[in-house]
Amino acid sequence: MAQSPSNKKGINNGSPKKGEPLFLTIGKIRKPHGVRGELLVAVLTEFPERIKPGKKVFVGEGKIERKIETVRFQNDGLLIRFEGIEDRDEAGSFRNELIYIQTANLPKLSENEYYYHDLLNMQVKTEKGEVLGSVSEILETGANDVLVVIKEEKEYLFPFIKQVILDVNKEENVILIKKQEWK
């Protein structure tokens, strides 16, 4: 999630085919834990508190729907058990798989807050109407996020701060910026 001027991360799993739902990666299953079907999961979201029992997630390349039965924190990860998975052998079949959620189920953001996937591929224009390209990625730096804008062979970097980002129009798929003049 990008906020103006700071942000939170969400990892985009690439562009879906037309009509396919967009999924975001929230975790990676490392290995089974114990003998009762728990899995050690590396957290890939800034909101691990949203991963809770009863939540439906999608696992693996095939995006198989699973319901989370239990969750508990373990050092820098989570121990998760899916409904219907009762032993270590069953849990082992999930080793190294990614866990996804559908973007349609993401919480609504307040004004001037954006998820990364909302900004990707948006067209970037100057206040004078010059088209600079489209957002190809978002870099997280210590101070603020940076939009990477590409047009043909040129690459531009724009800090996601209120002095540069004048408007984000999701309906028109356009980000309006003020080019900075460096002296």
pLDDT tens across 49-105, in order? 889 999 999 999 999 999 999 999 988 899 999 999 999 999 999 999 999 998 877
Q: What angle do CA 87, 26, 28 make, to 5 degrees?
A: 45
Pick 136 or 106 by higher pLDDT.
136
CB 39, CB 80: distance < 8 Å: yes
> Model pTM?
0.65
Q: What end-to-end distance do the CA atoms of the chain give, in Å? A: 32
HSE-up (13 A, CA, CB side) for residue 168: 24
Gap between the Cα atoms of 50 and 139, Å rounded: 24
In our burial notation (b when 16+ CB lie closer than 10 A, e otherwise), range 29-53 reads beebbeeebbbbbebbbeebeebee
Q: How many helices (H) and strands (E) does the chain have?
A: 2, 15
Residues 149-183: pLDDT tens digits? 999 889 999 999 999 999 999 889 999 999 877 66
Residues 5-44: pLDDT tens digits? 333 333 344 444 454 568 889 999 999 999 999 999 999 9
What domains, with CATH codes, occur in the chain?
2-105 (2.40.30.60), 120-177 (2.30.30.240)
Residue by residue, DSSP assigns 29-78 as: EEEEETTTTEEEEEE-SS-GGG--TT-EEEETTTTEEEEEEEEEEETTEE
Q: What angle do CA 63, 67, 71 make, to 5 degrees?
A: 115
